[in-house]
Every structure is written in C-alpha cells, then in structure tokens.
C-alpha cells in the first residue's frame, strides 16, 4: 500500500476543509503549504490590479517564499496537492512548493476548489514543475465534497 500525503494551500479556508476530508478518505498525512508572508483579505481582491495575488499571478515566474520546508515529501509515494484556482491556474505559492522538493518517482495528484473554473493551463504547469513525477489529471471539487465522494475518486485513481 502506498504512503500518501495531502499537501494544500488555502487562502480562505475552503481548500483546507476539502484537504482535511481528503486526508481522512485517503488515510493520508496532512500538510499545509503556507507562504512566509500570509495573505490578507486585501491581498486576495482579484478586481484590484495592485492586489498581491493579482500582481503575483500576472508574473508566471513569481515564486512567493514558503513559510517552511518541512513537508514530508520524501516519506510519500503519492502526493495530493490542493489549492484554489486563481486566474485559471494554480497559485504561485504552489509553484514555489513544487520547485522546493524532489518529486522524482512520486505520483502527484492535483485537487482544486473553485466556484466554476477548472485547472486550465495549470495542469501543464504542474507537470512541468513536478520534475520526475507522474502527474495525474487534476480534479475540481466543492469544498463540501463528502468523504464518500472522495473515496470513490481515490479508488478510481488506481494508486496501489
């Protein structure tokens, strides 16, 4: 049986709720991806062109600093990586996380929250940044996805 990790970034709490349910459903360890400088409400105003998240997302090379480098990636065979969709892709902090660790030989499974957007160009970006990993197709969920819904999805991934 493979060792699993659910690593997630959550700006508003929605992805955190989903990640906790997924960790329970997958019998996985849980790790929060945190930026060195936490996002405040004003940073997340996508309608403000000067808001931190908007500025970061306009620069595809932006790599916000991580709060730590303690994710137990080396211990996992399968790493579920969760995040909200920002501007039709993964937030820049996810890029920082993917570049900070060695994913060689691991299976990476993106999961995301969004009011309606899918992963867009994020799938290809994650495949490129998770060097050496097998990256499965990401899936969008409601933050309220049930443990049973998540178990069904996991079973369909054929991870073991």
Residues 6+ apart with CB under 8 A from 72: 5, 29, 31
Enumerate the domain spans of the chain: 4-151
Give residue 112's pLDDT.
Answer: 95
Mean pLDDT of 69-76: 97
Give residue 1's pLDDT.
Answer: 59
2 pLDDT band, cuts 50/70/90, is: confident
For domain 4-151, the CATH architecture is 3-Layer(aba) Sandwich (3.40)
Mean pLDDT, the chain, rounded, equals: 92
pTM assigned to the model: 0.93
Cα gap 4→30, rounded to integer Å: 9
Q: To which residue do tokens 């970006």 refer?
A: 125
User: What b/e readout covers 116-155, taking b as 16+ CB neighbours within 10 angstroms?
Assistant: ebebeebbebbbebbeebebbebbbbebebeeeebbebbe
58 pLDDT band, cuts 50/70/90, is: confident
Mean pLDDT of 108-125: 88
Cα gap 100→95, rounded to integer Å: 9
36 pLDDT band, cuts 50/70/90, is: very high
Portion of the chain with pLDDT greater than 90, in percent: 71
Give residue 83's pLDDT.
Answer: 96
Give residue 71's pLDDT.
Answer: 98
User: What is the tally of helices (H) and strands (E) in the chain?
Assistant: 5, 6
Residue by residue, DSSP assigns 129-141 as HSTT-EEPPPEEE
């Amino acid at each position: 049986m493979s060792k699993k990790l659910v690593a997630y970034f959550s700006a508003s709490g929605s992805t955190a709720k989903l990640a906790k349910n997924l960790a329970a459903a997958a019998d996985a360890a849980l790790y929060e991806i945190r930026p060195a400088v936490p996002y405040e409400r004003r940073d997340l105003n996508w309608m403000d062109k000067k808001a931190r998240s908007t500025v970061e997302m306009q620069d595809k090379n932006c790599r916000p600093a991580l709060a730590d480098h303690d994710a137990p990636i080396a211990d996992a065979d399968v790493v579920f990586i969760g995040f909200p969709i920002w501007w039709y892709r993964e937030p820049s902090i996810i890029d920082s996380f993917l570049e900070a660790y060695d994913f060689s030989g691991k299976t990476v499974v993106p999961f995301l929250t969004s009011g309606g957007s899918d992963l867009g160009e994020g799938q290809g970006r994650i495949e490129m940044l998770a060097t050496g990993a097998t990256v499965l197709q990401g899936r969008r969920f409601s933050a309220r996805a049930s443990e049973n819904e998540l178990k069904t999805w996991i079973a369909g991934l054929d991870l073991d």
